[in-house]
Chains A and B, each alone.
Chain A
Amino acid sequence: MTSTIRPGSVEWMGERLARKEDLRLVTGKGKYLADIIIPGALHAVFVRSEYAHAKILGIDLAEAESLPGVIAIYTGESIKDLINPMPQAIVKPNLSAKYPTFWPLAVGKVTFHGEPVALVIARDKYVAEDASELVLVDYEELPVVLDPEKALSPDSLVVHEKDGTNEIFSMTFTGGETEEEQKLNEKEVNSIFDTAPVVVKERFRTHRTGLTPMEPRGVLCDWNESDGLTAYITTQRPHIDRLALSDILEISAERVRVIAPRDQGGGFGVKAPFYRENIIIAYAAKALSKPVRWIESRYESLMNVGQERDQINELQIAADREGNLLGLRNRGIADNGVGTTGVYWGFVMPFLGAIELPNAYKWPKADISLKVATTNKACLTPSRAFGHFPTRFAVERCIDMVAHKIGIEPSDLRRKNLVDTLPYTSVTNEYYDSGDFLKVWDTLTAKADLANFRKTQSEALKENRYIGIGFGCGVELSGVASELLVPMENQPGYGAATVRLDPRGKVQVFGGDAPGGQGHETTTAQVVASEFGIDPADVVVTTGDTGTTPFGSGSIGARAGSYFVSAVADACRELKEKITRILAYDLEIEARNEHFEFIDGEVIYIGDRSKKSSFLSIVERIIMFPINLPKGEVGGLDATAFFEAPKPMICFNADCCIVEVNIETGDFEILKWITTEDVGNVINPLVVDGQMHGAIVQGISNTVFEEFVYDDQGQQLSADFENYKLATAADVPNIDIHYATTPCPHTPLGTRGIGEGRPSSIPGTLTNAVCDALAPFQIEINELPLRPNSIWEKIQQAKQA
């Protein structure tokens, strides 16, 4: 087999190395959740609610239970006294909100179309589905509430009666901690708006869409009295799932092991929550002491997870005639659905979305508040661009509207107000640790060549062709610091990695977070290879198994490039210190770590390059022959390091796209997409570019094609890929990526975590381009999805006006 890894290459950081993972994935040898075989595993199929809101009067299981091959059927009533209900502290944010009580299966009533009502367990998955059809649920339909604004009105029906209200979370993010400070701030902002020469006020609506990975969810649990529970789960945070299963099922934690399969078909946040299905499958495996497997169907998946965005933002911007931004005001409303999902409960996304609303601009003053409403829809689940896809759409659109009102180029207005000195703390107290926003912006505008475009645009208009250019940008979280993650998700933010050398000089790295295809095995190997001067082929990375990896709160918020590889580098450096201490002793020279170089499989004393050792032999010496060591030293080369940056970290990117709009049909084609990225020191450009392409196309697909639709009865009408349309390869453009990097001063390698928030600047950029193309019609589009039908209608209205 030809190895694509060049032996002995010197500098692995920044190398476009072909990924190690690919060799198994392109030959069909990957092992995803559904591929993991445990002999005798039973199959589970959920019976799900067909009503958006209905009492459960009774469930008749007789016929289903009599079907040969059916082993057990659970219902809410049969388990509610046997399993602790949610909420549970381990998967509950430290934020004051109303947390609904719920069990893995609906108890008393169902609150959204698709909610799990019963669980059928059978020997064969076809039989399990047959049996699920024979479970007869007697529903009494109840009225539904589907509009978040109606849900917040005092006379609305309340979905979770015990809460007494549908307003499960509300917060003001500006002015200070106390209500008085916030009120004072509000008054000051009011006066700014009263006197500002330019004020734009608009209602921005983002529809319900999100990120469905190609691999749906799955849980495979095994139980035996000696080892306890082994749970394979499609999850981004196995260590949190383990503690949650331990608390809820009351199995002491050392007898609970959660394994995220090495190969996962995408996560994008959808596999970050702790789901109720995990609980009941684990419970069933224990109760039956037989392995139980649940593979989610796409139908179930689209009705339960991957639904996010769905916000109304009443946004106002005040500015002066020269385009200096004076003030920002926003009243946000989010449609939370029923909020029955562990860790996030739905509202944590709009919470962070409000914090990130200000984006990369200097706002002297801001007044930002948010209300989150429960409705009879599926609970919001995290989706890449966590919570701030809608708020960034609102800000990036409103900034263009201000520029149009003043009569200056939107890109000039942005540049004038971009944060230009870092570190910087935003009006919502978000800390921007480092970066050069202007460098990124100027690189973009140079590539975009606006002046030339305006010429082309006017010539095209003469031929009745409407082309337009749109700009947008985004500050994104680069890992989530404990100071934000503890309150937001009740979890630590530090990265943890164990690096273990073996006597053959090979390296094993263990990480607790569970990736879903981001290439960690290769990028981590490049970091270790660069530290020890060896070949990435000699580095093996294991992730996501709570039995073998150090604690990590999960693959979330672009943690790998920021926190995980930093912990890996720290662990490597700790081992290098030990290696050089012992080598200097062996070579009988007075030298410290910085006097040695790890390169091409050797450890060389810089003072006299003839004094050196092969990496292999010094490692073998320390592990296998730990005698004649410096005082206090002991053998072994294994280190675990924990990394927490002093302050939260960010990355910054900017987008420009050019579109042509067909005014006959409202169809538009993206002719060009240019992006400039401050991604810090890059480990592998192939991987970074892949993340950017994926995020931008996800942003385009969310903005134009995908929409979760509920009818007026709360029936979810987009439960398959024919109705919930993903962008195909033929619907999206190529993407030109240009780096405009500044090393991150707060990580050992100068790397930045990138790609999590990346889709957030896409809806604004794309809609700005369409509006720019339609400038002759004075059209401003502030509602998503951005589709030809609505664009054409706006053109008709403009023609009539």
Chain B
Amino acid sequence: MQIKDSIGIEMPREIVFSALTDVEILEKCIPGCESLEALDEMKYSATILSKIGPLKLRFKGQAQLSDVTEPESYTIEGQGSGGPAGRAKVTARVTLEDVNNSTILTYDVNAEVGGKLAQLGGSLIKNTALKLATQFFEALNESLVNSNRKPPPLAVPDPSPTLSASRKILIAGTLIAGAIALIAAI
């Protein structure tokens, strides 16, 4: 199942990219996100409660990062288990394009679903994933526009002990895809 879409964000690419790294923003923007945790540089885990109508499914998942070119693009793969209901795996290619000081964020997401989720509502999942992915990026856009963030002093070493700035970016991206994946898994 393939979803491809893009959203215009009236902020420079660097700001958007750095916003994607901000855990508080992500926790707010990812629909149904209950917990976020960094396992290591390239791996991250999250618990997400997703709802479609009366159906509520809690997903425990991990996301893994690969082939990153900062701050342009990266690929992430998220795996989520919904317990007996089944599981979901998503790979997403996120690209950020600078267009006279604002950003076109494009996401190309492929969702695969397993277990009862695939058997009971494969197409239902795809439509839901698209809706939730859009909601996430709209929420991200809104939070950026409201907080009117200034670009972070990229040069200054980040005080937090282990994670370099670029790594945080990558993890955030992973989160987005992971979130989409898991949500898609309802």
Contacts and interface: CB of A to CB of B under 8 A. Distances in A.
A141 to B, nearest CB: 8
A717 B83 contact: no
A715 B114 contact: yes
B86 interface: yes
Interface string A38-72: 00000000000011000000000000000000000
Contacts of B115: 50, 715
Interface string B43-85: 0000000000000000000000000000000000000000110
A711 interface: yes
A133 B113 CA distance: 19
B120 to A, nearest CB: 8
Contacts of B87: 50
A361 B118 CA distance: 46
A126 to B, nearest CB: 14
A195 interface: no
Contact of B119 (A51, A133, A713, A720): A720
A719 interface: yes
A50 B119 contact: no
A716 interface: yes
A94 interface: no
Interface string B106-135: 000000111100110010000000000000
Interface residues of A, number: 11
Contacts of B119: 715-717, 719-720, 723
B114 A51 contact: yes
Nearest to A52: B114
Contacts of A719: 119
Contacts of B86: 50
Interface in A129-146: 133
A715 B84 contact: no
A716 B118 CA distance: 8
B83 A133 contact: yes
Contacts of B83: 133
A133 B119 CA distance: 17
B50 to A, nearest CB: 19
Contacts of A133: 83-84
Nearest to A132: B84
A129 to B, nearest CB: 10
B119 to A, nearest CB: 5
A713 B114 contact: yes
Interface of A: 50-51, 133, 711, 713, 715-717, 719-720, 723
Given A50-B115, A713-B118, 16 more contacts: A50-B86, A50-B87, A50-B114, A51-B114, A133-B83, A133-B84, A711-B118, A713-B112, A715-B113, A715-B114, A715-B118, A716-B119, A717-B118, A717-B122, A719-B119, A720-B119
Interface of B: 83-84, 86-87, 112-115, 118-119, 122
24 contacts: A50-B86, A50-B87, A50-B114, A50-B115, A51-B114, A133-B83, A133-B84, A711-B118, A711-B122, A713-B112, A713-B114, A713-B118, A715-B113, A715-B114, A715-B115, A715-B118, A715-B119, A716-B119, A717-B118, A717-B119, A717-B122, A719-B119, A720-B119, A723-B119
The 8 A-B pairs at the shortest CB distance, nearest first, are namely A50-B115, A133-B84, A715-B118, A719-B119, A715-B114, A50-B114, A713-B112, A717-B119
